[in-house]
Structure 1
Amino acid sequence: MEKLKCIVIDDEPIARDIIESFISEIPYLELKASFGESAKALMYLQENTIDIIFSDIEMPKITGLELVDSLTNPPVIIFITAHRNFALDGFETGAADYLVKPVRFDRFLKAVNRAKEYISLKKTASVHQINSDRIFIKSEGKLIKILLNEILYVEAQGDYLKFVINGASYTSLGTLKALEEVLKLPMFFRVQRSFILNLEAVRSLNGNIVELIDGKTISTAVNKKDELYQLLGIK
């Protein structure tokens, strides 16, 4: 069995020791490195390919959330922290799971098995761009052709993407961050963490609320509103 390469990031030595010991108990995991500082972990990730990151969230200088958000193509993330109130932010980054300290081994194993399943699915599911006006997505075991100008919006739903076109929708494994390399300006714009929309599908604007031609309303992130208005030619 090919082992999954992983790293641990936590500024608390005892917390790192516990996770490292848990990793050593799971045959299909291989610990490649362990860091007490996010900055050093970030440098390592820029030069090495990893399957799973086990990371604390609240750390000095660079938080776990900021570290993950800075990665262009992040591996599977499992956040481990003492603060339950970080759960929502953790999942918004696309984290596979969120563990609260003190972490039990059985709960850790459940999170790792979930990550393993996701990695397996990721290897067999993707979005394929054939040329500049169409893509193929894998959905329900089939490759489905979608013309780019038919897409109204794409919504992130956990580990999956929901593609909404005129009269239909399809779900495929993937992340918006990766999809941004395919669906990009001048036709598409990511208005917030969970949505990429077709600018031609915009029917109306009301403050930071966008209404699309199918009646769908989407809230725009505060830092994206002005850019959206400019892209639509609104001064």
Structure 2
Amino acid sequence: MDKFTCIVTDDEPLGREIIESFVKEIPFLTLVGSFGDPVEALLYLQSNAVDIMFSDIQMPKINGMELVNALVNPPVIIFITAHRDFALDSFDAGVTDYLVKPVRFDRFLKAVNRAKESVLAGKTPKIQEARPDRIFIKSEGRLVKILLHEILYIESQGDYLKIVVYEKTYTTQATLKSMEEILDKQLFFRIQRSFILNIEAVKTVTGNMIELTNGKSIAIAVNKKEEFFTLLGIK
């Protein structure tokens, strides 16, 4: 039997618990995340492939519509809300189904079967199959949009990342590995354990030192030099 991964996003704990209990009753569903904060769901989906998302619409910080629109390649979406007024907009946004609280299990199962068919038909590609041109990060309590081509470099600082974009610097809680999986490997290169740089930001290379267009100098690891020069087209 095919297994389908899913997440639940709802700021109301009881709402999440009900949907989680429904998911556990369906053998072909695997719950991989449950979020009371839609921003956390957004950050998770930027670096993890998920087949189906069950989401409330009215939530703090960003609502369900904004969450879906912020994703480059969203999973199959089933909205679950106490309000009927959003139904038309939901289907215009490509949502597979729209359930009104309180949700009956038989109606939930019907929506899940419809979502399963959408996944099997390939209507929603996996997130990793397409490289986004932007990401959203959580920095200083805000959700910040960053255009990837504007990033000069990313530096690991323990459990946090420093992302330098021209004159601005953002700090967010994430790993360099998770960021590396998102970025286009033709544009970004991990030159050492703690740094990923945008190769378009390289100004000069002197020995093992790279100077970026903003004046920042970074040493390249010896075992990375040959691969980096190949990426730059240097023989």
Correspondence 1:20 to 2:25: no
1:34-53 to structure 2, matched below 5 A, reads 34-53=34-53
1:105-120 to structure 2, matched below 5 A, reads 105-120=105-120
Give 1:2 deviation, angstroms.
2.6
2 CA distance for matches of 1:67 and 1:105?
A: 25
Give CA deviations for 1:155-207 in whole Å, capped at 9, x if unaligned: xxxxxxxxxxxxxxxxxxxxxxxxxxxxxxxxxxxxxxxxxxxxxxxxxxxxx
Match in the other structure for 2:90 = 90
Give CA deviations for 1:98-129 in whole Å, capped at 9, x if unaligned: 0000000000000000011111112799xxxx
The amino acid across from 2:61 in the alignment is: K
Give 1:67 deviation, angstroms.
0.4
- Say which SS state the counterpart of residue 85 (structure 2) adopts: helix
Structure 1 residues 89 and 118 mapped into 2: Cα distance closer, same or farther (>3 Å)? same
The amino acid across from 2:5 in the alignment is: K
Give 1:73 deviation, angstroms.
0.8
2 CA distance for matches of 1:38 and 1:92?
A: 21
Q: CA RMSD in A?
A: 1.6
2 CA distance for matches of 1:113 and 1:87?
A: 19
Could you tell me which runs of 5 or more consecutive residues in structure 2 were left unpaired when the two chains were aligned. 126-235
Give CA deviations for 1:30-80 in whole Å, capped at 9, x if unaligned: 000000011000010011000000000000110000000011111100000
- Over alpha carbons, which structure has the higher Rg? 2
- Say which SS state the counterpart of residue 53 (structure 1) adopts: strand
Structure 1 residues 76 and 123 mapped into 2: Cα distance closer, same or farther (>3 Å)? closer
1:70-149 to structure 2, matched below 5 A, reads 70-122=70-122
Query: % of aligned pairs identical?
Result: 68
Match in the other structure for 2:191 = none
1 CA distance for matches of 2:11 and 2:124?
A: 35
Aligned length: 125
1:146-157 to structure 2, matched below 5 A, reads none
Match in the other structure for 1:57 = 57
2 CA distance for matches of 1:118 and 1:52?
A: 10
Structure 1 residues 100 and 30 mapped into 2: Cα distance closer, same or farther (>3 Å)? same
Match in the other structure for 1:11 = 11
The amino acid across from 2:31 in the alignment is: L
Aligned structure 1 segments of 4 or more residues deviating by more than 2 angstroms:
none
2 CA distance for matches of 1:111 and 1:10?
A: 17
Normalised by the size of structure 2, how large is the TM-score? 0.52
Normalised by the size of structure 1, how large is the TM-score? 0.52
Could you tell me which runs of 5 or more consecutive residues in structure 1 were left unpaired when the two chains were aligned. 126-235
Structure 1 residues 49 and 83 mapped into 2: Cα distance closer, same or farther (>3 Å)? same
Match in the other structure for 1:211 = none
Q: Which has the higher contact order (CA 8 A, sep 6+)?
A: 2
The amino acid across from 1:62 in the alignment is: I
Correspondence 1:30 to 2:41: no
The amino acid across from 1:17 in the alignment is: E
The amino acid across from 1:24 in the alignment is: K
Match in the other structure for 1:199 = none
Match in the other structure for 2:204 = none
The answer to whether the 8 A contact 2:9-2:37 is kept is: yes
- Say which SS state the counterpart of residue 122 (structure 1) adopts: coil
